[in-house]
Structure 1
Amino acid sequence: MKPSLFQKCLAEFFGTLVLVLMGCGSAVLAGSHVGFLGIAFAFGLSVVGMAYAIGHISGCHINPAITISMWVTRKLPAADTLGYVVAQIAGGIVGAGILYVIASGHADYSLATNGLGQNGVGDGSPDHYPLASGLIAEVVFTCIFLLVVHGSTSKNNTTPIAGLGIGLTLTLIHIVGIPVTGVSVNPARSIGPALFVGGEALKDLWVFIVAPIAGGILGGIIWKMVDTWKKV
């Protein structure tokens, strides 16, 4: 029996919650111990783990940019697309909320000072990269990410362990991109922390909604062109 839409959305909710809790949590709770490299692996390993946990139920998108790209390339119905995106955003918010509760238990923690692993440009960028750099990075990195997602999950792909390739690609993107924006490539990952932190994080949030979705659509279109060419 195939999973219902409710079961799929529940899986997406839980998977995105884990991604935000563990990925952003690595920055907030363990950043001083593991550094940027450790944070990069935390995000990638979260995707790998969830791919095995919920991949057979929902496909483990846990990212509106992936879901919308799947819809644009006609791999996902509109009803599922809407349900997935709502569930992913809700999961990201709850994940950020749990992280906030945990972090608040430390006497030295301050939401204004330490944040919740939110993304940013300009003064909100880890290395103070400007808006233009952040936009380009998020579009290009998400495009690359979606090329890997589409290729790894294609019926024509005989390479096993798609979740591992996708997770390692996300790790690679974080290794390169954390200094620029903190790396989003996922609107749900950005929305949750920004809603709690507010201020500049909320002001810059549009970047991490628009750019990943644009990059995801672009990645889907490019993959479709390449995949169609291969069949000719």
Structure 2
Amino acid sequence: MPKKLIAEALGTAILVLFGCGSAVLAGADIGLTGISLAFGLAIVAAAYGLGAISGAHLNPAVSLGMVTAGRMTVGEFVSYAVAQVIGAILGAGILYLIASGKPGFTMGAWALGSNGFGPGYLGEYALGAALVFEFVATFLFVTVILGATGPKAAAGFAGLAIGLTLAAIHLVGINVTGVSVNPARSIGPALFAGGEALSQLWVFIVAPLAGGALAGMIYGMGLTRADA
């Protein structure tokens, strides 16, 4: 278990550093498409590099989906979630150290790629839209993960399928919430940003966890499982 938790923490740090870092450090140059690809490629890298150790969940919503699908215990979920949050904080901290090295750097309301919604945040979508997007997107994301890592999935392609799905979700939803689908990814930057990012954080914990749990339940019932 210690090796698995280290892998989860490291992988989540990679996701936050590369994904959020692409927005903070290079967003003006690469645009929304580039940011979306950065998140997807970070998942691909972590999945193939660390997946053999821990499964590379890197996301409490994914781990909770594994629980409700019957592929993980509650105790394992708690340990994974703690490691993932620690990794996300580490990744956000490294990103802060890098970003703050630029002259004129300031911490805005949603700094370091924090998720958010409402007036002043990207597309200024309302709370209801943010909740629906995060719930549905996480449900679809975890459904793909469960299917791609199932017993009848094509061997060797899970990381690619998962990374491409995350990239597609970002292409659709960055303007809505910045795309969380991952409570740990949201917690890390929000702790440093404070303010609105921290006050809105509950949305990016509750909605993804609910979406992931439902995906696991449906998979466990055999409705989205190839071997059912």
Name the TM tier (shorter chain). over 0.9
The alpha-carbon deviation at position 109 of structure 1 amounts to 1.4
Q: Which residue is 1:131 aligned to?
A: 127
The 3-state SS of whatever aligns with 1:46 is: helix
The 3-state SS of whatever aligns with 1:112 is: coil
Aligned counterparts of 1:124 and 1:86: Cα–Cα separation in 2? 31
Q: Which residue is 2:154 aligned to?
A: 158
Q: TM-score, normalised by structure 2?
A: 0.96
Aligned counterparts of 1:196 and 1:130: Cα–Cα separation in 2? 24
- Residue pair 1:184, 1:208 contacting (<8 A) in 2 also: yes
**Does residue 191 of structure 1 match 2:200?**
no
Identity of aligned residues (%): 52
Q: Which residue is 1:35 aligned to?
A: 31
**Does residue 87 of structure 1 match 2:83?**
yes
Q: Which residue is 2:108 aligned to?
A: 112
Q: Which residue is 2:66 aligned to?
A: 70
Query: Can you give the 5+ residue segments of structure 1 that lack an aligned partner in the other structure?
Result: none
Q: 1:124 to 1:118 in 2, by over 3 A?
A: farther
Query: Can you give the 5+ residue segments of structure 2 that lack an aligned partner in the other structure?
Result: none
* Equivalent AA in structure 1 for residue 101 of structure 2: G
Deviation by residue 1:24-47 (Cα, 9 ceiling, x = unmatched) = 000000000000100000000000
- Residue pair 1:44, 1:171 contacting (<8 A) in 2 also: yes
The alpha-carbon deviation at position 76 of structure 1 amounts to 1.1
Q: Which residue is 1:19 aligned to?
A: 15
Kindly tell me the number of residue pairs found equivalent between the two proteins.
228
Q: TM-score, normalised by structure 1?
A: 0.94
The 3-state SS of whatever aligns with 2:201 is: coil
**Does residue 147 of structure 1 match 2:143?**
yes
Runs of 4+ aligned structure 1 residues displaced above 3 Å come to 225-232
Residue range with higher mean Cα deviation, 132-141 or 102-111: 102-111
Report the structure, 1 or 2, having the larger helix content: 1
Deviation by residue 1:140-175 (Cα, 9 ceiling, x = unmatched) = 000000110000000122354110000000000000
